[in-house]
């Protein structure tokens, strides 16, 4: 996104060429934040608490903090996207808002696609994800709606299905049971 040159006589060429573009910097930072969020969400030892793991107060605090960062940053991005989408759909959009919306759409799509790549066990522990995604189902963006629908379906299936059971050893005296 290029900023329009205003009064070129008062600025040197170097100033115009290397002037900071704050929206680009913010979008670049958000892209790295998304990578951090997905990395944090995929860390099983932080996101999935288990009775066999270290149950010290420090481990509990790390887990709670990781959950809070992932949840808050995801909800923040989704609400910013939905707010800008509503603004663009109701008002006459400014070209900067349109460009910002395109970048936000790409960021949301990347984040949701990253959540989609997580395994079922990790998704099962992100209990806040389905309610956060329910607001995106009304989005006018087809690709985001499709990713949201797949994610909600996966989280519902992973929480509704019982955990896999290990096979029980059969007794040597009992005949094998045939399953149909």
Q: What average pLDDT does range 121-126 have in this prediction? A: 85
pLDDT tens per residue across span 6-21? 554 556 666 666 666 7
Q: What is the DSSP letter of 138?
A: G
Q: Residue 146: is its pLDDT beyond 50?
A: yes
pLDDT of residue 46: 72
Q: pLDDT by residue (tens digit) across 66-116?
A: 889 999 999 999 999 999 998 888 768 888 888 889 999 999 999 999 999
Inside any domain, residue 5: no
Q: Is residue 99 part of a domain?
A: yes
Helix (H, G, I), strand (E, B) or coil at 9: coil
Q: Is residue 177 part of a domain?
A: no
Confidence of residue 31 (pLDDT cuts 50, 70, 90): very high
Instruction: Residue 150: give the domain boundaries.
Output: 21-158
Give buried/exposed letters for 124-145 (b at 16+ CB in 10 A, else e): bbbeebbebbeebeebebeebe
Examine residue 174 and state whether it is found in any structural domain, yes or no: no
171 within a domain of the structure (yes/no): no
DSSP letter (8 states) at residue 5: P
- Token output for 94: 């400014």
pLDDT of res. 20: 67
Residue 172 placed within a domain: no
Q: Write down the pTM of the prediction.
A: 0.71
Number of domains in the chain: 1
């Amino acid at each position: 996104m290029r900023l329009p040159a205003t009064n070129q006589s008062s600025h040197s060429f170097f100033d115009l060429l290397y002037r900071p573009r704050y929206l680009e910097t913010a979008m670049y930072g958000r892209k790295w934040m998304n990578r951090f969020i997905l990395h944090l969400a995929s860390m099983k030892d932080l996101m999935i608490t288990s009775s066999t793991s270290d149950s010290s107060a420090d481990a509990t605090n790390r887990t709670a903090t990781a959950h809070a960062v992932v949840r808050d940053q995801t909800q923040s991005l989704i609400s910013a996207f939905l707010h800008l989408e509503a603004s663009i759909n109701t008002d006459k959009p400014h070209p900067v808002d349109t460009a910002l919306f395109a970048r936000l759409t790409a960021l949301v799509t990347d984040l949701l696609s990253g959540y989609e790549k997580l395994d079922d066990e990790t998704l099962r522990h992100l209990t806040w994800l389905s309610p956060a995604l329910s607001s995106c189902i009304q989005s006018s963006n087809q690709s985001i709606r499709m990713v949201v629908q797949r994610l909600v379906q996966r989280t519902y299936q992973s929480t509704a299905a019982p955990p896999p059971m290990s096979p029980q050893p059969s007794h040597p005296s009992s005949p094998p049971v045939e399953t149909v």
